[in-house]
Every structure is written in structure tokens, then in C-alpha cells.
């Protein structure tokens, strides 16, 4: 939860961990048992999907990513806004996402596909409204939840007018006053601790594999430890503890309970990829943050994508995707990748009643489906392959270009500038033919994207502008040909891009072949705005040619903004003389 807005994470977090290991009782078990293994270490936050839509898509998720997952489940206040899900009114497992039976079926379906489920769980508070009826029909008032809690089960701090938190320099206030009017549970009392543990154990009885503890900063770490000591087994734990400069409550206090979400990482990636220099990101365990082995990290989550505290899918020049590639390639932390939806206002709930819809390598019906992006699904495979291998062969010829290996299992190069980067890279990878998992995948020994050959401890490659390349031992193959066989002549390919612009902006086309400028913005082809907001240009291309391309915006001052990954890909027709490719800016 963020400090200024009621929030929460209703989400499938396909979270890549092995099954929790069993251990002895008590606090000594917490750290090792409640952190993920290294075999699978990626979380996908499928924000606001219904249980049924998760179950219907889990085979696709597992096939693409091979991950584990998470969702919130308790009854909450009514309302279409996404944050209503995080104002609970009972522990009945009925929410906008579905009912108890649907929740249980989703868990069983996930487990059958090798996907685990982490529940986003609220130990800190109940609702923030005076009274009402929840989505399952439970009536309540601000401090009375019949059959669950009464007035005495909440903190009434008396430190500020209305009991709301104002002063984050006061530990007692932060942990006993109310976060934006949310009724603050007295987690220091025996009854509340036992009731919360009962709720957690009910979720575990249905097969839940772990918990994300929302607003954990607002609960004393000792209270969390006490509650977890009553929980059955050793589920994975990650805790939302937002760091604040000079504040008395620090993320490091919570590592004895499990992983901690490290928001300083999110800020650092935003600053670095927005012009501060990505070469500064080599040694993240030396920043004074939570240790990487205890950190849960993300480029953006549901809060930060809305409040401006991170990059998001609309960030210019593909920086959001590049930062995500980095997050999945680097050793620091257990990464979470947000898979979200389009919104007009920051309060908007999910489209289509929460029934998530994807298509091909992206989303549909208002959903982004970032987990299907070629670059992201490819990098999840990269991370699962390289495991805990150390960073090797780090190079950075300038502040916005970095490349590094992960032992003898993988190698990545990231180019955060507006021109291509051609270099010979030193690598510990074995000799062989590899598929770049940013531009495509390995399919029956053939790369659907770019092929890269490693020989004698090195390879030469061109990293496109504002893009990356990544290879690993789990994606072998030879590169696809740039042209088909048996075809001759050219085809007039019409590119039609729908994009709204401001005065002085123009849309250009650039791509992987010489006719499209070989990824050089200076050689990009201008599109006509005669049918605005559809921009169009026709280019003669060799029949049968397979190529990748993107659109860029050029500002009046010469600034270039690239659309987001993945690269678009097409094959020029081998029959006929014309072809049309219609797309929209992303």
C-alpha cells in the first residue's frame, strides 16, 4: 500500500519458488524457509484478474513462464475502483475476483500446471469507511465487524486529529494510527493475532503457498513474527515496507520474517534508465539496501505505475521494458513483473469485470498482458536458466550501455541510447549457436528472432537502439534467415500507425533491415499525417523478407522517443505486389 492512497495488489503473482521446505517451529525457521529457492525466482503480478480467468489462462502462463502465482481473496467493500479490494470487511473468501470455490479451483489448476499461489494478505487494517455492506453481503461499521472484530480490537492512537498518520518520523504513530482512515488492527493483542493467523491458515488449507503482507511497515515487526509463528508450515513471505529517508522504521527490521520489498531499487532503476546512467547499477548489494537475498524487487507495481514513483509501460523510449530486462538479468533480489491494464484515471478498476484477456504476444480488450511480451517471457526463461550464477564480464563503454554474463549460462547487453551498439563481447558461454530471447525464441532448433554464434569465448552482435540482446544455454538455435527462398521482386508495404501527437511531434519508421534504416533514428522514414491520427508511409521491400521494426516519435527539438517492446515483426508477402501493416502506438 502506498502512503497517500488506499491500495492493494489483487494479483496473480506467478511467483517462481520451489515448494516451501518444512522446518521446526518458531522464529528461527523464518528467513531460510520464507525466501524463494533459486530454481525459479520470478513473480508475475497479474493485477486484478478474476479467479476463473487465471484458471483458464494458467496453462499459457506456465508454458510461457513456468512460474508461480498470487491473489487476494477476502470480502471487501463494494465499488468498481481497484483499491476497494484492499478494504476488507470479513474473512469470507468472496471478492470481485470470485468466491471460495472459484478461488480453490484456481489454486488447484495453478498447482496442476506447476504454478504456485501467493495471497496478498491484509494484517494491518480493515475498511476505511463509516459503514456499509461488503460484496458478500456482510454488514459492518468502521470499528465493528460482526463475528470478527469489535471496537477494542483496533488501535485508537489519539496522536493526531482523526487518528490518521501524519508524522512518519514517529514510530508509534506510523504503527498505531490509521493509514488514510483504514481501521488499524491492534496486532499487539492476543485476540487479533490469533484471528489473523486463523485467516492465514484457512488460506493455506486451500493450497496457498505464500503471502505478500500489505502495509507491513504499519505493523511492528515483532507483531508480524508472532502472527507468523502461529501459521502452519513455512509459506513464502514478502512484506511491503516502503523506505523513507531518515524515518525510524527501516526495511531491514523485517528481514527476520521473510523477504522485504525494496522500493529504493525501484527508484534507482527509474533514475538510471531515465538518463542518470545505467552503468551505476552493477553492484546493487553495496547500496545500503536490504541484501539481495532478502529483497523482493520490481520496476513498477500497481501503486507506483499510477503515482509516478517508477517507470511504467508508457515511459518513453522503451525504458520500462529495458529496466525489466535488467531486473530479470541481474542477481539482486527476487523480481516481480507487473502485468496490468489500461486506465484513464488512477482509480479505474480492471476492464471486462476483471476477466483478463490476452492475444499472441500481448494483450487485448484493455489488458496489457506484459507477461506475454517476447522480451519479458524470454528473460524469465533466461533467469530460470542462469539461476544463482554470478555476474561476470561486466562492460560499460558509456553510461547508458551495459553488458554482463551470468556465469557460463547466460549473457545480456542493454543499449539505452538512440543509436545501435555493435561490439565484440567476451563471454563464458560455451561455443555454440544461441537465440536472442529479446527478439524471439528458440523453436525446434531455429531462432524466431536473431541468432548469435559464440566462438572462442566471444561473439559479435549489434544491439538495436533502445533495446537489448540476451542469450542463454536454455535457448539454442540458428538464426532465422532475412529473406525467404525462391521469391523475387519487391512488394509495396504500407505501414499505417495510429498515434496521437502534440504540435511539433512526428512519427517515423525504423527497423532491422537497410530499407528501414538498420535501427538508426537518423535514417528513419517519416510517415505522413494526412489521415491523422493514422500516420502512413509505403516502402518497397524485397518479397519474402522477415524483418523487425518500431515506430519512433521525433520532437521539434530532435528528441527521439521509442515505442515499447517487443519489436514488431513481419514477413513481406511472396504473392502479390502490395501489403498493409496496421498498428497502434504502444
Helix extents (H) in 34-160: 51-65, 100-112
> Residues 542-552, buried b or exposed e (16+ Cβ, 10 A)?
bbbbbbbbbbb
Q: Are strands 334-339 and 578-584 parallel, antiparallel or unpaired?
A: unpaired
Count CA within 13 A, CB hemisphere, residue 560.
Answer: 21
Sheet holding 578-584, edge to edge: 528-531, 534-542, 490-498, 578-584
52, 85, 209, 214: the active-site residue:
214
Cis peptide bond N-terminal to 275, omega within 30: no
Residues 142/129, Cβ–Cβ less than 8 Å: yes
Q: What angle, rounded to 10 degrees, do the helices at 374-386 and 51-65 form?
A: 60
Count of beta carbons in the 10 Å neighbourhood of residue 345 = 7
Taking the C-alpha atoms of residue 39 and residue 16, their distance in angstroms, rounded to an integer, is: 8
Q: Which of 232, 279, 286, 234 is nearest to 264 (CA)?
A: 286
Taking the C-alpha atoms of residue 76 and residue 90, their distance in angstroms, rounded to an integer, is: 7
Taking the C-alpha atoms of residue 154 and residue 200, their distance in angstroms, rounded to an integer, is: 19
Residue 247 annotated as catalytic: no
Q: What angle, rounded to 10 degrees, do the helices at 190-205 and 221-229 form?
A: 50
Taking the C-alpha atoms of residue 482 and residue 511, their distance in angstroms, rounded to an integer, is: 13
* Residue 250 cell numbers, joined: 527501516
Cis peptide bond N-terminal to 533, omega within 30: yes
68, 85, 240, 253: the active-site residue:
240
Q: Are strands 210-213 and 139-141 parallel, antiparallel or unpaired?
A: unpaired
Taking the C-alpha atoms of residue 295 and residue 565, their distance in angstroms, rounded to an integer, is: 27
The three-state secondary structure class of 121 is strand
| CA distances for 374 relative to 197, 354, 432, 548, angstroms | 40, 24, 22, 13
Residue 25 annotated as catalytic: no
* Residue 514 cell numbers, joined: 537497410
| CA distances for 531 relative to 475, 484, 580, angstroms | 43, 33, 15
Taking the C-alpha atoms of residue 559 and residue 213, their distance in angstroms, rounded to an integer, is: 42
Taking the C-alpha atoms of residue 375 and residue 313, their distance in angstroms, rounded to an integer, is: 13
H/E element holding 401? strand 401-406
* Residue 379 cell numbers, joined: 528473460
Answer positive or negative: Cα dihedral of 199, 200, 201, 203. positive
Active site residues: 214, 240
Amino acid at each position: 500500500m502506498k502512503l497517500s492512497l488506499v491500495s492493494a495488489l489483487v494479483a496473480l503473482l506467478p511467483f517462481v519458488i520451489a515448494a516451501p521446505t518444512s522446518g521446526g517451529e518458531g522464529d528461527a525457521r523464518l528467513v531460510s524457509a520464507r525466501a524463494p529457492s533459486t530454481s525459479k525466482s520470478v513473480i508475475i503480478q497479474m493485477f486484478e484478474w478474476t479467479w476463473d480467468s487465471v484458471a483458464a489462462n494458467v496453462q499459457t502462463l506456465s508454458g510461457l513462464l513456468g512460474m508461480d502465482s498470487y491473489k487476494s481473496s477476502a470480502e471487501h467493500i463494494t465499488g468498481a475502483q481497484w483499491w476497494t479490494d484492499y478494504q476488507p470487511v470479513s474473512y469470507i473468501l468472496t471478492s470481485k475476483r470470485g468466491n471460495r470455490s472459484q478461488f480453490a479451483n484456481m489454486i488447484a489448476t495453478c498447482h496442476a500446471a506447476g504454478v504456485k499461489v501467493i495471497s496478498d494478505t491484509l494484517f494491518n487494517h480493515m475498511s476505511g469507511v463509516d459503514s456499509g455492506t461488503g460484496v458478500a453481503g456482510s454488514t459492518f461499521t468502521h470499528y465493528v465487524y460482526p463475528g470478527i472484530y469489535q471496537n477494542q480490537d483496533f488501535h485508537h492512537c489519539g496522536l493526531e486529529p482523526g487518528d490518521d498518520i501524519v508524522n512518519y518520523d514517529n514510530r508509534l504513530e506510523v504503527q498505531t494510527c490509521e493509514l488514510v482512515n483504514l481501521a488499524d488492527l491492534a496486532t499487539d493483542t492476543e485476540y487479533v493475532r490469533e484471528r489473523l493467523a486463523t485467516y492465514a491458515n484457512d488460506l493455506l488449507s486451500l493450497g496457498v503457498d505464500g503471502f505478500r503482507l500489505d502495509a507491513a511497515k504499519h505493523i511492528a515487526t515483532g507483531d508480524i513474527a508472532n502472527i507468523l509463528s502461529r501459521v502452519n508450515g513455512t509459506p513464502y513471505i514478502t512484506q511491503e515496507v516502503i523506505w523513507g529517508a531518515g524515518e525510524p522504521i527501516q526495511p531491514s527490521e523485517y528481514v527476520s520474517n521473510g523477504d522485504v520489498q525494496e522500493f529504493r531499487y525501484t527508484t534507482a532503476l527509474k533514475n538510471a534508465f531515465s538518463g542518470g546512467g545505467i552503468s551505476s547499477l552493477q553492484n546493487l548489494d553495496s547500496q545500503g539496501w536490504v541484501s539481495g537475498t532478502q529483497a523482493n524487487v520490481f520496476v513498477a507495481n500497481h501503486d507506483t505505475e499510477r503515482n509516478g514513483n517508477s517507470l511504467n509501460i508508457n515511459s518513453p523510449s522503451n525504458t520500462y521494458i529495458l529496466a525489466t530486462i535488467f531486473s530479470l538479468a541481474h542477481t539482486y533480489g527476487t523480481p516481480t513483473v507487473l502485468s496490468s491494464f489500461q486506465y484513464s484515471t488512477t482509480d479505474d478498476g480492471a476492464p471486462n469485470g476483471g476477466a483478463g484477456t490476452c492475444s499472441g504476444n500481448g494483450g487485448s480488450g484493455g489488458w496489457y498482458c506484459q507477461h506475454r511480451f517476447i522480451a519479458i517471457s524470454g528473460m524469465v526463461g533466461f533467469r530460470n536458466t542462469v539461476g544463482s550464477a554470478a555476474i561476470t564480464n561486466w562492460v560499460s563503454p558509456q553510461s547508458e550501455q551495459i553488458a554482463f554474463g551470468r556465469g557460463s549460462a547466460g549473457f545480456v547487453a542493454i543499449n539505452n541510447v538512440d543509436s545501435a551498439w555493435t561490439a565484440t563481447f567476451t563471454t563464458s558461454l560455451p561455443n555454440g549457436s544461441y537465440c536472442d530471447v529479446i527478439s524471439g525464441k528458440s523453436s525446434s532448433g531455429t531462432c524466431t528472432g536473431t541468432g548469435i554464434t559464440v566462438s572462442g569465448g566471444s561473439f559479435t552482435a549489434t544491439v538495436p537502439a533502445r533495446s537489448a540482446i540476451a542469450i542463454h544455454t536454455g535457448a539454442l538455435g540458428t538464426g532465422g534467415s532475412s529473406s525467404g527462398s525462391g521469391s523475387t521482386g519487391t512488394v509495396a508495404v504500407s505501414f499505417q500507425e495510429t498515434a496521437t501527437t502534440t504540435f511539433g511531434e512526428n512519427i517515423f519508421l525504423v527497423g532491422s533491415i537497410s530499407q528501414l534504416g538498420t535501427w538508426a533514428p537518423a535514417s528513419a522514414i517519416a510517415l505522413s499525417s494526412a489521415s491523422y491520427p493514422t500516420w502512413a508511409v509505403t516502402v518497397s521491400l524485397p518479397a519474402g523478407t522477415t524483418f523487425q521494426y518500431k515506430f519512433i516519435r521525433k520532437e521539434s527539438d530532435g528528441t527521439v522517443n521509442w515505442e515499447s517492446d517487443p519489436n514488431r515483426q513481419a514477413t513481406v508477402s511472396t504473392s502479390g505486389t502490395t501489403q498493409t501493416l496496421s498498428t497502434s502506438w504502444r
